[in-house]
Amino acid sequence: VKTFLVTGAAGFIGAAVARYLVGKGNEVVTVDNLSTGYKEAIPTGVEFYEGNCQDEYLINQLEKYDFEAIFHIAGQSSGEISFDNPIYDLQTNTQSTLLLLKLALKTKCTKFIYASTMSVYGDAEKLPVNESMNIEPKSFYAVGKIASEHYMRIYQNYGIRSSALRLFNVYGPGQNLENLRQGMISIYLAQAINNRHIIVKGPKERFRDFVFIDDVVNAFILACENLKDIFCIYNVCTGIKATVEEVINIIKNNLDFPIDIIYKGSTPGDQFGIYGDASLFKRATGWQPRVNLEEGLKKMIAWAINR
Ligand SMILES: NC(=O)c1ccc[n+]([C@@H]2O[C@H](COP(=O)([O-])OP(=O)(O)OC[C@H]3O[C@@H](n4cnc5c(N)ncnc54)[C@H](O)[C@@H]3O)[C@@H](O)[C@H]2O)c1
């Protein structure tokens, strides 16, 4: 039996990765501070340490494990929120990475996979973005994620084999519908269901690259199975751009009650439009996104309505 550390398993992506690993007969340990996650969301069988990944005392307690791999997924995941308290963002998203890399080194765990973000690109001059393009992060959140990537690159020199997955907009069942400052689809869907209207902050022509949760779980697993001797950064995206308007129309068409759409304001640090090229990741691991937006949104809406 192998043991994995999956940080953030009370959250959307961490819980899904942990559930997959437990389902395959592995042991999973998680650290989560329940800031946006829920204890009840932690999959059955996962050993839970409640606390901060930037807490050295807590992380030191994990030295007793012989981890096969570390998936560092816990984090403050909103660009918007990072403007409220940039220092907290640095601690939660970057200091945590450094401590976990140290843990990996100390415990001779040589596999490390990190949840980075497409936010690092900022307003890309050329689309779709690929990993060799210039980056210009527009939020404290994105700056912290980039710093984490560089820490990983340096730790590769000590034998910690690692990859950073630059996740684009992840969506699907299990996403937090209470946090209205994080996740474009979850924000719209929560408003549509709870208030029968959607407030759109910014123009409807904005676009994103939406990737379904099951495809993201698969991305983490394949990344772990295909680590290289050099630190790798991969886009995890579909390569398909979907506008805000398209998303809203799919939501509208799949609800059996009418909703109003209200356009007002904008979000600081928000990117206008971005979509990505995942060919590097596909070549390196054989990964393919399998669920298209319409299909994925239908699954998510069914889940959200029946919760
Ligand atoms: N959802 C997306 O579209 C997306 C896109 C790009 C990157 N990411 C990254 O993926 C990761 C997971 O995102 P998610 O959508 O599952 O968010 P989420 O908020 O559902 O999950 C994050 C989990 O981490 C926990 N957490 C936060 N800070 C912590 C800390 N310092 N110590 C311990 N636990 C902590 C939270 O309580 C929560 O359970 C984040 O690092 C995020 O930046 C997400």
Reference 277, options 151, 158, 166; nearest CA is 166
| Cβ–ligand 1 contact at 169 (below 6 Å) | yes
- The atom number, within ligand 1, closest to the CA of 37 reads 39
| Cβ–ligand 1 contact at 167 (below 6 Å) | yes
Ligand 1 centroid to 53 CA: how many Å?
Answer: 12
User: What percent of the residues of the chain are helix, what percent strand, and what percent coil, each to the nearest 5?
Assistant: 40, 20, 40
Instruction: Determine the Cα angle at 199 with ends 193 and 205, to 5°.
Output: 115
Instruction: Give kind and range of the element (H or E) at residue 234.
Output: strand 232-236
Rounded CA-CA distance 76/92 in Å is 7
pLDDT tens-digit profile of 216-226?
A: 999 999 999 99
Amino acid 267: pLDDT: 76
Cβ atoms of 174 and 216 within 8 Å: the answer is no
Beta bridge partners of 260: 197
Tokens coding 159 = 């034998």
The residue type at 282: K
| Cβ–ligand 1 contact at 91 (below 6 Å) | no
Rounded CA-CA distance 161/215 in Å is 22
Amino acid 269: pLDDT: 64
- The atom number, within ligand 1, closest to the CA of 167 reads 6
| Cβ–ligand 1 contact at 14 (below 6 Å) | yes
Q: Which of 7, 36, 49, 238 to mutate to test the pocket of ligand 1 (most atoms within 8 A of CB)?
A: 36
Rounded CA-CA distance 247/186 in Å is 11
Q: Hey, how many other C-beta atoms are within 10 angstroms of the C-beta on 220?
A: 27
pLDDT tens-digit profile of 56-104?
A: 999 999 999 999 999 999 999 888 889 999 999 999 999 999 999 999 9
Reference 70, options 155, 170, 167; nearest CA is 155
The DSSP letter of residue 190 is: H
Mean pLDDT, rounded, for 2-27? 98
Q: Hey, how many other C-beta atoms are within 10 angstroms of the C-beta on 191?
A: 21
Amino acid 79: pLDDT: 86
pTM above 0.85, yes or no: yes
Cβ atoms of 197 and 80 within 8 Å: the answer is no
pLDDT tens-digit profile of 132-152?
A: 999 999 999 999 999 999 999
Residue 302 has pLDDT above 80, yes or no: yes
| Cβ–ligand 1 contact at 74 (below 6 Å) | yes
Strand 207-208 versus strand 242-243 pairing type:
antiparallel
Residue 259 has pLDDT above 70, yes or no: yes
Amino acid 181: pLDDT: 76
Where would I find the beta strands (DSSP E) of 33-191?
Answer: 47-50, 67-72, 111-117, 161-167, 169-171
Amino acid 133: pLDDT: 94
Query: What are the C-alpha distances in Å from 138 to residues 122, 208, 256, 270?
Result: 5, 16, 38, 8
| Cis preceding linkage at 128, omega within 30 | yes
Cβ atoms of 138 and 271 within 8 Å: the answer is yes
Which residues, 6 or more positions from 127, have their beta carbon under 8 angstroms from its beta carbon? 241, 273, 274, 275
For the chain, what is the mean pLDDT?
95
- The atom number, within ligand 1, closest to the CA of 141 reads 43
Tokens coding 110 = 């040589």
Through-space distance between the first and last CA atoms of the chain, rounded to whole angstroms: 33
| Cβ–ligand 1 contact at 35 (below 6 Å) | yes
Q: Hey, how many other C-beta atoms are within 10 angstroms of the C-beta on 155?
A: 21
Say how far residue 213 (Cα) sits from the centre of its chain: 9
Q: How many residues make up the chain in this entry? A: 307
Mean pLDDT, rounded, for 209-236? 98
Which residue is listed with tokens 């090229």? 277
